[in-house]
């Protein structure tokens, strides 16, 4: 049984307006926005798990597995960095 690399689970990203598909290479480091102004979404059928950290609710929230509001992203990352092995 072949093993699948972890990054394959979030390989497919697409714009909800124009439908353009982004590679993760193109996506990472960008905002959640397409050049056309639409949102870039992950294909949920690929099994991706997404977290969004934003002060206020966003239209993307319904697509996200875990939504954190009213927190600063720096604070949340600081608190979770050890568990995520980012340190």
Q: Report if residue 21 touches Zn ion, rule: CB under 5 A.
A: no
Q: Residues 13, 14, 15, 22: which binds Zn ion (CB under 5 A)? A: 15
Q: Are 40 and 28 in contact (CB under 8 A)?
A: no
- Tokens representing residue 46 in the block: 């690929």
> What x/- string results for residues 34 through 53 when contact with Zn ion is judged by CB under 5 A?
x-x-x---------------
Binding segment toward Zn ion, per CB under 5 A, in 18-26, 48-56, 57-65, 66-74: 18-26
Which residues, 6 or more positions from 15, have their beta carbon under 8 angstroms from its beta carbon? Answer: 22, 34, 36, 38, 39, 40, 41
């Amino acid at each position: 049984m072949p093993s699948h690399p972890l990054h394959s689970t979030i390989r497919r990203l697409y714009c909800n307006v124009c439908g353009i598909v982004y590679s993760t290479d193109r996506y990472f480091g960008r905002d959640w926005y397409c050049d056309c102004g639409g949102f870039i979404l992950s294909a949920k059928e690929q099994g991706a798990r997404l977290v969004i950290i934003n002060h206020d609710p966003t239209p993307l929230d319904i697509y996200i597995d875990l939504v954190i509001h009213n927190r600063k992203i720096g604070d949340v990352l600081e608190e979770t960095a050890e568990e995520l092995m980012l340190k």
